[in-house]
A and B are shown apart, each in its own frame.
Chain A
Amino acid sequence: AQKVTQAQTEISVVEKEDVTLDCVYETRDTTYYLFWYKQPPSGELVFLIRRNSFDEQNEISGRYSWNFQKSTSSFNFTITASQVVDSAVYFCALSEAPHPSTGANSKLTFGKGITLSVRP
C-alpha cells in the first residue's frame, strides 16, 4: 500500500529565512511518481513539481529546490529566502502505476500537509 508521511505539521519562519519541508513515502512499486502541491487559502491545490522514480536528479527552480533520495524514500522541498506569499499548506503526494486493465491504484495519495507561515 502507498503511504506518504509529512512529520512536520506547522512551520513558522521569518521572511527571508530558508525552510525545508520533509516528505517520506512508502511504496512497493518500482514505478511511481512524487508530487508537491501548494494549497493557498483560496482552496485549490497548485501543482509545484513532479518526479518519477527513475529520475533522482535534484532540481532548482528560482527560490524552490527539491531533493529526491530513493535510498531514504524521501522527497524534500526547500524554499530559499521565504516570502509572505509562500504562506500556505504544502502537500506531498504519491501515485503508483495503475493496474493495466483494472486501473487500480490510479489515484494520488497525499500526506497530511504542512502549514507554512512566513512572518514579515
Chain B
Amino acid sequence: KAGVTQTPRYLIKTRGQQVTLSCSPISGHRSVSWYQQTPGQGLQFLFEYFSETQRNKGNFPGRFSGRQFSNSRSEMNVSTLELGDSALYLCASSQEPPGYGTEAFFGQGTRLTVV
C-alpha cells in the first residue's frame, strides 16, 4: 500500500512569507503527527491530530498551526517565516495516536529553506 506522502518535497521562501505543507497518511491511519528536524535541535514534536482533532501540541510559537481533514489528510501552516524555520518537516501517520504504541510511518519530508 502507498506510504506517507508529503508535498512539496522542497520549498524556498522569503522571510515574512507564509507556507503550507501537506501530508497524506497511509490509508486507514487516523493519526497524523508533525515533527521539525534541524541540525541543532534534532527532531522536535510540533502537533498531533487524530480524527480531525488536535490532541497534542509541542512547544512552538503560534505561527505554527495545522489541521486535519475528514479524509485524515493534514496540512501545517507557518506564517511570518523566520530564518530559523528552515528545517526538514516530517509527517508521521499511525493507526492510533503515538502513546498507544503503534508504530509511526514517516514521509520523506518537506525541506523548507527560508532566505
Contact residues of A with B, CB < 8 Å? Answer: 33, 35, 37, 42-47, 50, 52, 91, 95-98, 102-113
Interface string of B41-80 (1 = CB under 8 A from A): 0110100101001011010000000000000000000000
Q: Which residue of B lies closest to A93 (CB)?
A: B43
- A105 near B88 (CB under 8 angstroms)? no
Rounded to whole angstroms, the CA-CA distance of A46 and B106 in the bound complex is 7
Interface string of B96-115 (1 = CB under 8 A from A): 01111101111111010000
- B99 near A95 (CB under 8 angstroms)? yes
Q: What is the predominant secondary structure among interface residues of chain B facing chain A?
A: strand
Q: 15 new A-B pairs (CB below 8 Å) besides A47-B103, A112-B42?
A: A35-B103, A37-B106, A44-B90, A44-B106, A44-B107, A46-B106, A52-B101, A95-B98, A97-B99, A98-B56, A98-B98, A105-B99, A106-B48, A107-B45, A107-B56
Q: Which residue of B lies closest to A109 (CB)?
A: B45
Candidates A37, A43, A47; contact of B109 at CB < 8 Å: A43
Rounded to whole angstroms, the CA-CA distance of A96 and B98 in the bound complex is 8
Rounded to whole angstroms, the CA-CA distance of A104 and B50 in the bound complex is 12
- Would you give the shortest CB distance from B87 to chain A, in whole angstroms? 12
Q: Knowing A103-B50, A106-B55 touch, does A98 contact B100 (C-beta < 8 A)? A: yes
- B48, B98, B104 interface centre (most CB from chain A within 10 Å): B98
- A45 near B98 (CB under 8 angstroms)? no
How many of chain B's residues have a CB under 8 angstroms from any CB in A? 29
Q: What is the predominant secondary structure among interface residues of chain A facing chain B?
A: loop
Rounded to whole angstroms, the CA-CA distance of A45 and B14 in the bound complex is 28
- Would you give the shortest CB distance from A36 to chain B, in whole angstroms? 11
- B101 near A95 (CB under 8 angstroms)? yes
Candidates A43, A52, A103, A106; contact of B88 at CB < 8 Å: A43
Rounded to whole angstroms, the CA-CA distance of A36 and B90 in the bound complex is 16
Q: Does B22 contact A (CB under 8 A)?
A: no
29 residue pairs bridging A and B, Cβ less than 8 Å apart: A42-B108, A44-B4, A44-B90, A44-B107, A44-B108, A45-B90, A45-B104, A47-B104, A47-B105, A50-B101, A52-B101, A95-B98, A95-B101, A96-B99, A98-B56, A98-B100, A103-B48, A103-B50, A103-B99, A104-B56, A105-B56, A106-B55, A106-B98, A107-B45, A108-B45, A108-B104, A109-B45, A110-B35, A112-B42
